Amino acid sequence: MILVTGGAGFIGANFVLDWLALNDEPVINLDKLTYAGNLETLASLQGDARHVFIQGDIGDQSLLTRLLADHRPRAVIHFAAESHVDRSIQGADEFIQTNVVGTFRLLEAVRAHWASLPEAEKNAFRFLHVSTDEVYGSLAPDAPAFTENRAYEPNSPYSASKAASDHLVRAWHHTHGLPVLTTHCSNNYGPYHFPEKLIPLMIVNALAGKPLPVYGDGMQVRDWLYVKDHCSAIRRVLETGAPGETYNVGGWNEKPNIEIVHAICALLDELRPRADGASYATQITHVKDRPGHDRRYAVDARKLETELGWKPAETFETGIRKTVIWYLEHTEWVAHVQSGAYRQWVTSHYEVA
């Protein structure tokens, strides 16, 4: 059995769904159910004895201690995090509490659990910490992609909080011997993505006839990773990764944001044309850039490929088509996740340039 934190969020829920589709090992799923956690994503697992959902906070050490004692997982996969840069700029407190303090509480509970295990189980145990490429900072246009040896240079409250959590995980390995693994992923996209992030926001707004807000000139470059590929990479690292090691997970798909938006518009023009025959690209609206916006991220995932034999199955072209089709076919999920609070946040946040 494994314990997953943040398993009702975007990446965590995709991981849980894929895990149980591929094998019968049970999952204990701990999620606080903040605005981005959505049990509707896991509706297909209702009544499945292999999936035990517990609503709770990784900062609740007594709850963690009880869960670990009751279920004795062989591994903990730690997704739980506040993850939206824009929200961290507006208010960093929750990011510090969840990403830093919460990870500390989780590490302490897991360390006590691990220390109590019989030797064979102790040797096999793993704590896999899911992090981000944003801890590495911003790249110049012609600079080489981030490797695992890149110095940390976080530029937002979000990335700073994730960097802090990475350092805690590393310290618990080197000080206490906890068998940890850390992954740094690039920008994920795919099914069940909360529509505040770029790709789902563009799809949802386009279909609703709303402006497609693009920060600044739209030339911020990111490496795009299909979420199912990310999940397969995590499974591979959990299975064969070396304790104490860090692995970058990327899609080998560097693209500027404006190109992503045009690709989405072209797919929607093909799959769900506007009634007036115009392109969805006419809805693109450039808005004021956000403070400290990093210009480029790029992930060098060769270590994961050469040492563990993993590489992504999807190109950006195949992944984005699957993503757009998923949103077209799951309008009810989108409608349910769009609460009044979310709509108010988007309205207040995006200021037209």
Q: How many CA atoms lie within 13 A of 332 on its CB side?
A: 3
Q: Residues 82, 134, 229, 314: which is the catalytic one?
A: 134
CA-based torsion, 318, 289, 300, 139: positive or negative: positive
Does residue 133 carry a catalytic annotation? yes
Q: Residues 133, 196, 254, 300: which is the catalytic one?
A: 133
Nearest residue to 81 via CA among 160, 195, 180: 160
Instruction: Write out the two tokens for 93.
Output: 């407190």
The reply to whether 76 falls in a domain is yes
The reply to whether 23 falls in a domain is yes
Instruction: Write out the two tokens for 12.
Output: 């965590």
The reply to whether 278 falls in a domain is no
Residue 344: predicted pLDDT: 53
Residue 352: predicted pLDDT: 45
Does residue 158 carry a catalytic annotation? yes
Task: Classify strands 75-78 and 2-5 as parallel, antiparallel or unpaired.
Answer: parallel
Residue 342: predicted pLDDT: 40
Which residue do the tokens 């693994």 mark? 181
Does residue 134 carry a catalytic annotation? yes
The reply to whether 269 falls in a domain is no
Nearest residue to 50 via CA among 31, 77, 71, 78: 71
Please tell me the pTM assigned to this model: 0.93
The reply to whether 232 falls in a domain is yes
Cα 14 to Cα 45: distance, rounded to the nearest angstrom: 12
Q: Residues 136, 158, 226, 297: which is the catalytic one?
A: 158
Cα 73 to Cα 204: distance, rounded to the nearest angstrom: 38
Which residue do the tokens 């990335």 mark? 159
Task: Return the CATH number at 8.
Answer: 3.40.50.720
**Total count of domains within the chain:** 1
The reply to whether 276 falls in a domain is no
The reply to whether 343 falls in a domain is no
The reply to whether 10 falls in a domain is yes
Domain that holds residue 9: 2-192+225-252+292-314
Kindly report the backbone phi and psi dihedral angles of residue 180, in degrees, each rounded to the nearest multiple of 5, phi listed first. Answer: -105, 155
Which residue pairs, CB below 8 angstroms and at least 24 apart, start in 145-153? 145/223, 145/250, 145/298, 145/299, 145/300, 146/184, 146/248, 146/297, 146/298, 146/299, 146/300, 147/248, 147/300, 147/303, 148/184, 148/246, 148/247, 148/248, 148/303
Cα 345 to Cα 325: distance, rounded to the nearest angstrom: 26
For the chain, residues with pLDDT lower than 70 are 339-353
Alpha helices in 28-135, H assignment, sequence order: 61-71, 85-90, 93-95, 103-115, 119-124
Instruction: Write out the two tokens for 74.
Output: 């062989």
**Which residues 6+ apart lie within 8 Å of 21 measured at CB?**
none
